[in-house]
């Protein structure tokens, strides 16, 4: 059994390096304590600052290292003042999605009972659902290539059978894992607009076909507009939601809002071979260099990486460490006495990460 996993690390721009360093320290600590596996980190350059220096945003060598790594950990890339000659921003993270065919954008939304947030949850209720956003086609298919004339503009939405089948299988497998671990009811909801667009009726039809292979799970549908309403009115009802790229883009920010902000929202972009784990937020250049960034979305993304590696390689110690790390962050947030500025506190990035380290140490000692 392979016990050493190579992780390609993109530190990125802005607050990227500030949130990457404490995250890697926590991962190293978990691996050292577990003795069941080892992590080898390889830092590779890419991003807006690298482009400004060298004229290359995603060097071929960085792509090669990422392709051959067991997993990819990425903080945030892009700076508003550094752009390609056509005016668009530097986004190697989107190039990675396309290069490695990372069709499943996984966005967990979690708020524990009693945790402060924009919604007051009814007694005993918690939010724990996962939004799976298709990430390679949909309305992003014609990104940068839409037709614009003096009088009209057109963009093309593309939904393919092949990608949709992979996406739905991934979503049902995820719902099954969640059910087995006691975290979900075993339900997948296809979020679409099948009442208006033929492309979404096609999407829904494929979903229903794939659902036949999962008789132990519940499959249902919801329109995207109603889903936005229910995410605010009864978010505790959802388990796994799966949707098209643009709908997922919008709903995942609503999900981040439910948790209290971007600083708490982790994500993963998963394909058949590679996977990238990164916080939902950008490089936050407005607070870079101040030591004020919230590291939790990055740490939670790293926990998702451990879980994905653990499941893929049938390595229980990694899955257990993933759960430990996630719970430690949740404990720090729920306690509320060491919060960064974005959450209304005064803690620095280092203080917030150190609080997670102390919870992990305490849990180990008990
Ligand atoms: P992108 O387009 O790359 O996603 P963006 O322009 O939408 O980026 P972000 O970089 O995510 O925006 O920043 C949006 C706001 O949220 C900024 O005010 C930023 O300071 C804040 N923010 C983002 N991430 C964090 C974080 N980890 N900690 C604290 N504040 C954050």
Ligand 1 centroid – CA 17 distance (Å): 14
Instruction: Round the average pLDDT of the chain to a whole number and report it.
Output: 95
CA dist 196 and 201 (Å) reads 8
Q: Which domains does the chain have, with CATH numbers?
A: 1-102+271-366 (3.40.718.10), 104-264 (3.40.718.10)
Per DSSP, helices labelled H in the chain are 16-34, 48-54, 60-68, 92-99, 161-180, 198-211, 224-233, 245-259, 296-312, 316-335, 349-365
Ligand 1: does its nearest atom lie under 6 Å from the Cβ of 78? yes
Closest to 131 in 3D by CA, of 108, 112, 114: 108
Give the whole-number percent of the chain exceeding pLDDT 70. 100
Which of helix, strand or coil describes residue 242?
Answer: strand
Over residues 135-151, mean pLDDT: 92
Q: Which atom of ligand 1 is nearest to the CA of 295?
A: 27
pLDDT at 332 over 90: yes
Residues 98-126 pLDDT 10s = 999 999 999 999 998 878 889 989 888 99
Which residue among 49, 82, 299, 342 has the greatest number of ligand 1 atoms within 8 angstroms of its CB, and so is best to mutate?
342
Asked if pLDDT for residue 1 goes beyond 70, the answer is no
* C-alpha of residue 179 to centroid of ligand 1, in Å: 33
The model's pLDDT over 347-356, given as tens digits with 9 standing for 90+, comes to 999 999 999 9
Q: How far is the CA of 76 from the centre of ligand 1 (A)?
A: 9
pLDDT digits (tens, 9 = 90+) for 242-299: 999 999 999 999 999 999 889 999 999 999 999 999 999 999 999 999 999 999 999 9
Cα–Cα nearest to 202, from 263, 172, 244, 238: 244
- E-assigned strand segments in 101-205: 104-111, 127-134, 147-148, 153-154, 187-192
pLDDT at 365: 85
Q: What is the pLDDT of residue 114?
A: 77
């Amino acid at each position: 059994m392979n016990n050493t996993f190579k992780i390609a690390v993109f530190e990125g721009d802005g607050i990227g390096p500030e949130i990457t360093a404490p995250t890697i320290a926590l991962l190293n600590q978990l691996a050292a304590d577990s003795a069941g596996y080892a992590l080898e980190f390889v830092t590779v350059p890419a991003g807006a600052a690298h482009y400004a220096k060298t004229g290359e945003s995603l060097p071929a060598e960085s792509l090669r290292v990422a392709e051959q790594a067991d997993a990819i950990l990425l903080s945030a890339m892009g700076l508003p003042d550094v752009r390609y000659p056509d005016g668009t921003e530097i986004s190697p993270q989107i190039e990675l999605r396309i290069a490695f065919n990372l069709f499943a954008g996984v966005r967990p939304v979690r708020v524990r009972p009693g945790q402060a947030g924009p919604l007051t949850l009814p007694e005993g209720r918690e939010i724990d659902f996962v939004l799976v956003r298709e990430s390679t086609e949909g309305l992003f298919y014609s990104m940068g290539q839409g037709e614009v004339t003096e009088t009209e503009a057109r963009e093309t939405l593309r939904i393919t059978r092949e990608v949709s089948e992979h996406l739905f299988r991934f979503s049902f497998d995820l719902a099954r894992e969640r059910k087995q671990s006691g975290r979900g009811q075993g339900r997948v909801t296809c979020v679409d607009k099948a009442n208006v667009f033929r492309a979404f009726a096609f999407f829904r039809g494929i979903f229903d076909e794939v659902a036949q292979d999962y008789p132990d799970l519940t499959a249902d549908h919801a329109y995207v507009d109603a889903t936005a309403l229910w995410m605010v009115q009864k978010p505790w009802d959802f388990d796994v939601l799966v949707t098209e790229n643009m709908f997922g883009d919008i709903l995942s920010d609503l999900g981040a809002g439910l948790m209290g902000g971007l600083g708490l929202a982790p994500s993963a972009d998963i394909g058949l071979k590679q996977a990238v784990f990164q916080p939902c937020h950008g490089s936050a250049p407005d607070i870079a260099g101040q030591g004020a960034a919230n590291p939790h979305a990055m740490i939670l993304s790293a926990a998702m990486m451990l879980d994905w590696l653990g499941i893929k390689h049938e390595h229980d110690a990694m899955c257990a460490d993933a759960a430990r790390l996630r719970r430690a962050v949740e404990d720090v947030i729920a306690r509320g006495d060491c919060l960064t500025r974005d959450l209304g506190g005064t803690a620095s990035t280092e203080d917030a990460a150190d609080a997670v380290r102390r919870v992990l140490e305490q849990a180990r000692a008990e």
